[in-house]
Structure 1
């Protein structure tokens, strides 16, 4: 095991918190004032990883923190002679999750990126329904215009956790039905949500995963979420987001360019997390 002296790890932890504050500090200020945000809230509400949890720095499995009394009793840690470190017993309990994540990440990376969905999953979630997820935000093209866009193009969603929120009328329009059971067989690296989910798997395994990797994945998830919502049917001008009008050829071309850039960024993170998972499996 590697032992980090108190001065060293506290400096790293402070740097981690400062970086997080640069990413979401203004958002957290708004949230403290009771203001909702239709874009950024998702990263904490849907994924269920609270800002306070994200702020706590973890060095990853196999690293001991010297003089780290505040980690006493922390989830996933135990005390050793030199300090506190991620508990092998916690790894043993999480082994199935580590193995599933490794398999999913490996399978996703092995496929070519599909860049022809144009972000229509968000449109399919409001197709022919008045039950709109973001009630405080108007639809950019109105109800009828939104439905017309869905009907004018093919739905090619490959991500079950987006597909499961499709309206009943949109489900049958997708190129293929999706289930949880076939998730590993369907995920592909062009999907924005599959790339956002690298963040999900990284924090689910904390403190076995290092916070530097988790925050890199979170930063990518922020960028992917912004693209996701800029291409959505919602009018987010009041929040400072310029729409990407995927109902037009120019808008679709812009979306594909940006989607490809997110996919390129995600490839390295997916490989880093897969490598961590496989190392954890070797220790368990």
Structure 2
């Protein structure tokens, strides 16, 4: 257990708060005024982790914070020898299923080769043959209209590998996908080229907090925000009102740009995925250790 002097960790906590404040300032400004933003709202509505929670700094496992008596009552913290630390055994025992499933998904994704041939058509499949009132972002027009959007889906194969995108496909679009995905098949199909697999690193990080440190959570958040921008640029929606240029995946040039940027995000996501696995590695033995101790008692 590494011990951090109070001055050191409080400075780290303040720096984290400043980083979060800068990252969420625009969102909070719009939220307080009832202004929608389909790119950034996604990070706080689909991913249900509020800015106030994101702002709380945690060191992660293996670091004891001297003088942090106030954390004695925090979930999954233990205060002993004048220092507070995240209790790996308590966390692992309480979140054993989450740890196991997340580790399995992260490992499977790392080991699988990346593919870059989906071209962001998942967003198009969520609109395919739908009524105007049923589309998700009613405040944004469709670049090609409903007929044009349907035509793009019909002219290109759907190769979505991410269940949590596939589940929002319209009913007519689902049979067009290369595989019928199921909630329990995430580990079988998740692949590192998928934009949503990269965005979901943020979800995995905050769900495993405080065992995962806040620096890593924010690194995943910042990548997710960049990925979401491309996600909407390549969608059927006209995002020019948000100051974004479309990536017209219905054209050869647009598909090439999408695949290039998709590849870059995949390469940036890989070390984050590896860091998440390393961060929770102690949890894999913590829960069995507690069970063994209980058996001895």
Smaller-chain TM-score range? over 0.9
Partner of 2:123 in structure 1?
A: 122
Q: Is 1:207 matched up with 2:210?
A: yes
Helix, strand or coil: the match of 2:217?
Answer: helix
CA displacement at 1:277 relative to structure 2: 2.2
Partner of 1:45 in structure 2?
A: 45
CA displacement at 1:163 relative to structure 2: 0.3
In structure 1, how many angstroms separate the alpha carbons of the residues matched to 2:43 and 2:277? Answer: 22
Task: String of CA shifts for 1:110-150, please: whole Å, max 9, x gaps.
Answer: 11111000000001001111210111111111111111111
Q: 5 Å matches for 1:5-24?
A: 5-24=5-24
Decide which moves more: 271-280 or 107-116. Answer: 271-280
Task: String of CA shifts for 1:7-54, please: whole Å, max 9, x gaps.
Answer: 111111111122223323222222122212111111111110111111
Helix, strand or coil: the match of 2:67?
Answer: coil
Task: String of CA shifts for 1:34-88, please: whole Å, max 9, x gaps.
Answer: 2121111111111101111111010002222222244343232232232222133
Partner of 2:176 in structure 1?
A: 173
In structure 1, how many angstroms separate the alpha carbons of the residues matched to 2:104 and 2:4? Answer: 32
In structure 2, how many angstroms separate the alpha carbons of the residues matched to 1:242 and 1:225? Answer: 14
Partner of 2:269 in structure 1?
A: 266
Partner of 1:29 in structure 2?
A: 29
In structure 2, how many angstroms separate the alpha carbons of the residues matched to 1:148 and 1:23? Answer: 38
Distance 1:70 1:26, change over 3 A: farther
**Structure 1 contact 3–82 (Cα < 8 Å) conserved:** no
Q: Is 1:58 matched up with 2:63?
A: no
In structure 1, how many angstroms separate the alpha carbons of the residues matched to 2:192 and 2:15? Answer: 30
In structure 2, how many angstroms separate the alpha carbons of the residues matched to 1:78 and 1:283? Answer: 15
**Structure 2 contact 109–192 (Cα < 8 Å) conserved:** yes
Partner of 2:220 in structure 1?
A: 217
**Structure 1 contact 99–277 (Cα < 8 Å) conserved:** no
Normalising by structure 1, report the TM-score.
0.96
Decide which moves more: 249-258 or 274-283. Answer: 274-283
In structure 2, how many angstroms separate the alpha carbons of the residues matched to 1:5 and 1:112? Answer: 43
User: How large is the Cα RMSD of the aligned pairs?
Assistant: 1.2
Helix, strand or coil: the match of 2:279?
Answer: helix
Partner of 1:84 in structure 2?
A: 84
Q: Which has the larger radius of gyration?
A: 2
Normalising by structure 2, report the TM-score.
0.92
Pairs aligned (count): 284
**Structure 2 contact 69–79 (Cα < 8 Å) conserved:** no
Task: String of CA shifts for 1:202-260, please: whole Å, max 9, x gaps.
Answer: 11010000111111111111111111011001111111111100000000000000000
Where does the alignment leave 5 or more consecutive residues of structure 2 unmatched?
288-297
CA displacement at 1:162 relative to structure 2: 0.3
Decide which moves more: 64-73 or 101-110. Answer: 64-73
| Structure 1 residue ranges, 4+ long, deviating more than 3 angstroms after superposition | none
**Structure 2 contact 158–177 (Cα < 8 Å) conserved:** yes
In structure 2, how many angstroms separate the alpha carbons of the residues matched to 1:127 and 1:75? Answer: 44
Partner of 1:68 in structure 2?
A: 68
Q: Is 1:109 matched up with 2:110?
A: yes
Partner of 1:100 in structure 2?
A: 101
Where does the alignment leave 5 or more consecutive residues of structure 1 unmatched?
none
In structure 1, how many angstroms separate the alpha carbons of the residues matched to 2:51 and 2:96? Answer: 25
